[in-house]
Amino acid sequence: MTPSTAPSSPDPTRARYETLLEVAESISAHRQLSTLFSDLSRLLKRLVPFDFISLTLVDHKERVVRLHILETDQPILGKPPGGTPFDQTPTIAALQTRRPYYIPDVAAEERFPVIREILQANGIQSVCILPLFTAQRDLGGLHFGSLTRDAYSAEDIEFMGQVARQVAVAVDNALHSEAAIAYEEQLARERDRLRTLLDVNNAVVTCLETSQLFGAIADSLRGRFGLDYASLLIYDPEIHALKLRMLDFPGGTGAIQQDAVVPLDDSLAGYVFRTREGRLFSLAEIREVSPTTFKLFSGEGIESLCSVPLLLRGTALGTLNVASRQPDRFHTDDLQFFTQVAGQVAIAIDNALSYQRIEELNARLAEEKIYLEDEIRTDNRFEEIVGQSRALKAILKQVETVAPTDSTVLIYGETGTGKELMARAIHDLSARKQGTFVKLNCAAIPTGLLESELFGHEKGAFTGAIAQRIGRFELAHRGTIFLDEVGEIPIELQSKLLRVLQEREFERLGSSRTIRTDARLVAATNRDLGEMVEAREFRADLYYRLNVFPITVPPLRERTDDIPILVQYFVQQYARRMNRRITSIPTESMNALSRYHWPGNIRELQNFIERAVILTNGSTLQVPVRELKRTVGGAAVVTLETAEREAIIRALRDAAGKVGGDQGAAAKLGMKRTTLQAKMRKLGIETKVF
């Protein structure tokens, strides 16, 4: 038998070339460096003894070398977080010489003590650093380390150098690919940001109402960036706080609400608003700046936030805030971008607020125009308070005393005594005389519409609300509002009136926006509010708030000295209006007028004189004295009940038996329809006889 041939030993050179070929194939097969190095570790361990293989990359801008990839089975200790400076790492030494830098005994290494300490901390006793470079640039180093001292021979280092030359090409290609991908991603981000800026700019141009503007901004931010939270807080100078005017937080728990008031102190938005500088916040930094905001956001799962002020010509209008449930979601370039967005938003908000103010002013001017035209059309023939009696002078003294103050005034008096004239006098003698004097007869407005008349309503607030309407309190801003027949306000509405008097704020019907008003209130009534309070028909707290300065206007029967003066005044006024020349009033007629009881007070006298002027043909006033139920020379006065009966009958006759309505008997007598009907039942008067 021929003896068996012993197996030949493997050719190390051939094995290395085969491995180099496999390395080349692996490089062509792997696009990502992480998977490439995992495969390299498997291939090279067949020929080179190492316990770790790593890739370091050079950052020429920062002049540091950073560990990029590490393949090892050992736990790593002491990795420099920001990289190793050039002069403290052997990677730079290898790149400078273009040759491997071999440390056979790490303990004896004196040139790079920082790297020595890291290697020793991980038990590495020998290490070889192969430079990675191309003709165009230095890339970094390929590191082989062993737990054994002097682990690598010259042949090993030569082989590792050949591997390193192939790896350098792969790293260069990968970095170029990563740079291209990063560049594409950057271009995509810039494109999205430019589109967002364009959207906001379009909103600036097209959205003049704040609701449309905020909606457009929220849609743009959510669609482009996938944010978890976005809000706009606008500064309200009247309350010296921020108001949450836009909220886009679909995944919120409801703890953060639209129109919430955010104080300037102890709030993150208030901090940014006061400092006028945008900032990025982690959850821990939010806790440091504002524990209140931290508690709110941590409960919502927010981990990172960017808040920037809305600045316009150096003035802060509010803040733009975006947040994410991801940690470290925002970076410096995000802060710069959202600062740009905030600049556009500030312009948009300024435009929207200006438009809103213009609209409100136009609406107010329109309301004032309608109101003043209505005042001109009103059958109000009093140009001034007429009279010289002691009782009237005492009242005017009270008016003169209270007018310069802003105190609420409550005017008591019978129907027709001139309570509105007193209210106008208070307004004209006050510092508010340049403002609007707005009046409202609470008894003349149906109960269901009274709240709208007082506070206004939004479009669609109730059936028939086809447009926004400004209420009387808003119309009387910086002026005076006169509420006649205040005792007729329903008790369920009295609490809202009390709030306006105490806090000077209210909301229109159908709106949650609080409106501030600076209107002085003058109220009037012919009822005893004190008795109404006892009967629980009127709120006690509102009564005390109204009754700050009560004034009681005396009836005409207590001002008999003023009757001749009033007669002369009314005669001149109506004669001028009817183009007649009346120069005298018979003495007996004037005496009869002075003796009459005048249950309807000045309004009854005014109507009576108008009728007398109509009946007069010559220059002497022809007074229908018989209608007064007096003898010209007598002194006896008919009873009040008889006078009331006769006055009601005359009014019903003039109104053709109609009780209610603008031309009804109640309107002619200046009283409520229900009050007149009650008196008619008491006096036994029936309308069917007219």
Position 381 scores a pLDDT of 35
Percent of the chain with pLDDT over 70: 86
Q: Kindly report, residue by residue over 491-509, the tens digit of the pLDDT.
A: 999 999 999 999 999 998 8
Same domain, 340 and 423: no
Is 370 a domain residue? no
Position 252 scores a pLDDT of 86
Position 182 scores a pLDDT of 66
Same domain, 277 and 342: yes
Least confident of 75-89, 185-199, 489-503: 185-199
In degrees and rounded to multiples of 5, residue 68 shows phi and psi of -105, -45
Answer for the pair 417, 386: CB distance below 8 angstroms, yes or no: no
Beta bridge partners of 129: 101, 143
Same domain, 311 and 391: no
Query: How would residue 690 be classed by pLDDT, with cut points 50, 70 and 90?
Result: low
Same domain, 590 and 608: yes
Residue 649: which CATH number? 1.10.8.60
Is 676 a domain residue? yes
477 Cβ contact partners less than 8 Å away, ≥ 6 residues apart? 364, 435, 517, 518, 519
Residue 37: which CATH number? 3.30.450.40
- Copy the structure tokens of residue 303: 């981990």
Is 237 a domain residue? yes
Q: Which of 250, 251, 247, 291 is nearest to 270 (CA)?
A: 291
| Domain end among 160, 179, 198 | 179
Distance, in Å, from the CA atom of 199 to the CA atom of 197, rounded to the nearest integer, reads: 5
Q: Is 136 exposed, middle or buried (0-12, 13-18, 19+ CB in 10 A)?
A: exposed
Position 206 scores a pLDDT of 67
Residue 116 has pLDDT above 50, yes or no: yes
Residue 509: which CATH number? 3.40.50.300
Residue 481 has pLDDT above 90, yes or no: yes
Is 514 a domain residue? yes
In this structure, the number of other CB atoms found within 10 A of the CB of residue 26 comes to 19
Distance, in Å, from the CA atom of 423 to the CA atom of 363, rounded to the nearest integer, reads: 25
Same domain, 638 and 494: no
Q: Cα separations (Å) of 188 from 181, 185, 192, 224?
A: 10, 5, 6, 11
Residue 412 has pLDDT above 90, yes or no: yes
- Outline where 300-413 has alpha helix (H): 332-377, 390-402
Same domain, 235 and 313: yes
Mean pLDDT of the chain: 83
Mean pLDDT of 296-309: 92
Distance, in Å, from the CA atom of 530 to the CA atom of 550, rounded to the nearest integer, reads: 12
Q: Which residue has the tokens 């945008």?
A: 278
Is 543 a domain residue? yes
11 vs 608, more confident: 608
Query: How would residue 376 be classed by pLDDT, with cut points 50, 70 and 90?
Result: very low
Cα angle for residues 294, 298, 303 (degrees, 5° grid)? 95
Position 3 scores a pLDDT of 40
Distance, in Å, from the CA atom of 265 to the CA atom of 596, rounded to the nearest integer, reads: 69
Q: Kindly report, residue by residue over 632-673, the tens digit of the pLDDT.
A: 333 444 455 666 777 888 888 888 888 888 788 888 777 888
Residue 99 has pLDDT above 90, yes or no: yes
Q: Is 565 exposed, middle or buried (0-12, 13-18, 19+ CB in 10 A)?
A: middle
What does pTM read for this prediction?
A: 0.45
Helix (H) or strand (E) holding 213: helix 210-225
Q: Kindly report, residue by residue over 318-356, the tens digit of the pLDDT.
A: 999 999 998 888 888 888 888 888 888 888 777 777 766
- Copy the structure tokens of residue 269: 């938005």
Answer for the pair 84, 64: CB distance below 8 angstroms, yes or no: yes
Residue 470 has pLDDT above 60, yes or no: yes
Distance, in Å, from the CA atom of 435 to the CA atom of 653, rounded to the nearest integer, reads: 41
Mean pLDDT of 554-568: 90
Distance, in Å, from the CA atom of 601 to the CA atom of 584, rounded to the nearest integer, reads: 23
Q: Which of 640, 643, 639, 641 is nearest to 627 (CA)?
A: 643
Q: What is the DSSP letter of 509?
A: B
Same domain, 145 and 213: no
Same domain, 589 and 507: no
Same domain, 546 and 561: no
- Copy the structure tokens of residue 15: 């094995």
433 vs 461, more confident: 433
Least confident of 65-79, 83-97, 298-312: 65-79
Mean pLDDT of 281-301: 90
Is 430 a domain residue? yes
Mean pLDDT of 59-88: 81
Same domain, 575 and 451: no
* Number of domain units in the chain: 4
Segments forming the whole domain that contains residue 49 = 12-179
Same domain, 30 and 152: yes
| Domain end among 136, 161, 179 | 179
Is 202 a domain residue? no
The region, left, alpha or beta by phi > 0 then psi within -120 to 50, assigned to residue 328 is left
Same domain, 397 and 540: yes
Is 2 a domain residue? no
Beta bridge partners of 230: 248, 322
